[in-house]
Structure 1
Amino acid sequence: MPWVHEHYHVTADPAQTIVGGLSYGGLAAAFVGLRASEIFGNVLAQSGSFWWDKDPEEDIQQESIIQQFITSPRLPLRFYLEVGLKEDWRWIYMVGCNRHMRDVLVLKGYEVHYSEFNGYHHHVSHRGSLADGLLALVGKEPEIEVKDGAIDR
């Protein structure tokens, strides 16, 4: 983020900054929010792999991201979670684990926008809803302030 701020005119306000991802990327986005809420105040997780709780290389059980949110203090974060109703396969119940994550976050007092759609675990299923998530999290137009005749957003 320091490099981005140095090279681009973007906000440093966590309330206007989103980290997001799809599948494992959604899991990673939630983890980044948990560990860096002072930078990213919004998490957009499309079909987050919230079922994951072990290192596949070493088969070592680790604390799931859901459990980490249960045991951590509430942070200044907002969430957009979505999952396709046809995403369940083998032993992974994507709908259930995303609903569980949503319920935990709501019980902890987080603002959560949640959506289910009639689709599969594929980037094509999420392409239209990415904008929905962005708008839900920071979709309002920033207030315009005039300073010395110049517009500042």
Structure 2
Amino acid sequence: MRDLPPRVPRPAPPLTLPTPAHDASLSPRVTSLDDGLSAVTFSWRGQAEEVRVLANKLTHDTDAAVMERTGDLWHRTYVVRDGWRASYRLSVDGTAIADPLNPRVWQGFSIAETTPPSPWLAARAEPLHELSRQTIGWRYDPVRPPRGTLVVLDGEHWVDDLPVMLDNLIEAGELPPVTAWLVESGPDRVGRLTCNPEFVDALPYEGATVIAGQSFGGLTAVYAAHRRPDRFVAAVSQSGSFWWPNGPEPEWLTGELSPSAPPVVHLQVGTDEWALHGPTARIGERLQGTYREYEGGHDRYCWRNELATGLITAYAS
């Protein structure tokens, strides 16, 4: 990104290790290693022909997702960098299930992480907001007079987490009181979130507004800041789909950005999202703002833990 050093890819850690002997009553088990690495061991017990670990982009090699078998115990150990987290399932003979040995379940997925969850997601005893259903999604109103506006795309996925996060950030003074619009994507998500000018022009705003999104929503957040700089002063883009569209002319938005008036964007992408690193680096060269890599993949659980960092940066700039 402008005025920032270029991204220097870090060498990947070793992919897998032999699974150490352990009591497979709890999965996964995390063991600290040297040099900022951890070993994460997944286990499953039962009769099956094949068991796989389904964690987004944990491995490039599909065969490395297959768990090893010792009797009726299936196991696989991966080496990850400290700070890594993921939502995952197990595939048992082709059927995806939550990990029965893992008590941590979120939205039907099991959770593995080598770092504590974001403190901004801790529920408060009493909410500090009102949340109302609107035609376009939901509206968050803080109890204090608002001094800013936030638009979050794919709002149906944020109804539980975003109000808690904003309550905590505002109460701690990390964000000004904001009115937030959780804009629902609906069944035509791809049509709405692929640089659709009609959709962007219809988004709510009031005063200086920040917009945030993930995947196609991350693409559209940057597009909105580019198309309507009179409305959106900054964007937070998590794992943006900047490769779009498929075909002979990919990365359309990168070519559309004006070098003379680059939008302010705070980019986030997972270290495991190898397919996104090139497009993200290329669009980053045409933007103002910041760049952050988190340890993980294309994973909504990662996004919920990282969004607060992007919002704090956006409102501080």
The TM-score range, normalised by the shorter chain, is 0.5 to 0.7
Q: TM-score, normalised by structure 2?
A: 0.34
> Larger RCO: Structure 1 or Structure 2 (Cα < 8 Å, ≥ 6 residues apart)?
1
- Tell me which residue corresponds to 1:86: 272
Structure 1 residue 62 displacement after superposition: 6.9
1:1-150 matches, cutoff 5 A: 10=146, 11=148, 12-14=206-208, 17-54=209-246, 61=249, 64-69=252-257, 71=258, 73-75=260-262, 77-88=263-274, 93-105=275-287, 110=288, 112-139=289-316
Rg larger in 1 or in 2?
Answer: 2
**Structure 1, residues 48-90: CA drift from partner, whole Å, max 9, x if none?**
0111134xxxx68477111111x46405x321101001123xx
2:232 aligned counterpart, secondary structure: coil
Q: Distance in 2 between matches of 1:127 and 1:103?
A: 26
Q: Distance in 2 between matches of 1:64 and 1:85?
A: 23
1:32 aligned counterpart, secondary structure: helix
Q: Distance in 1 between matches of 2:286 and 2:250?
A: 18
Q: Distance in 2 between matches of 1:24 and 1:104?
A: 19
Structure 1 residue 34 displacement after superposition: 0.9
Q: Distance in 2 between matches of 1:72 and 1:78?
A: 12
Aligned length: 118
1:86 aligned counterpart, secondary structure: coil
Larger strand proportion of the pair: 2
**Structure 1, residues 87-117: CA drift from partner, whole Å, max 9, x if none?**
23xxxx2012112111222xxxx2x111012
Which ranges of structure 1 fall in alignment gaps of 5 or more residues? 141-153
Larger helix proportion of the pair: 1
Identity, in percent, stands at: 27
Q: Distance in 2 between matches of 1:79 and 1:97?
A: 15
Q: Distance in 1 between matches of 2:251 and 2:285?
A: 18
Q: TM-score, normalised by structure 1?
A: 0.67
- Counterpart code for 1:74: A
Which ranges of structure 2 fall in alignment gaps of 5 or more residues? 1-135, 149-205
Q: Distance in 1 between matches of 2:248 and 2:291?
A: 31
2:297 aligned counterpart, secondary structure: coil
Change in 2 beyond 3 A, CA 1:79/1:60: same
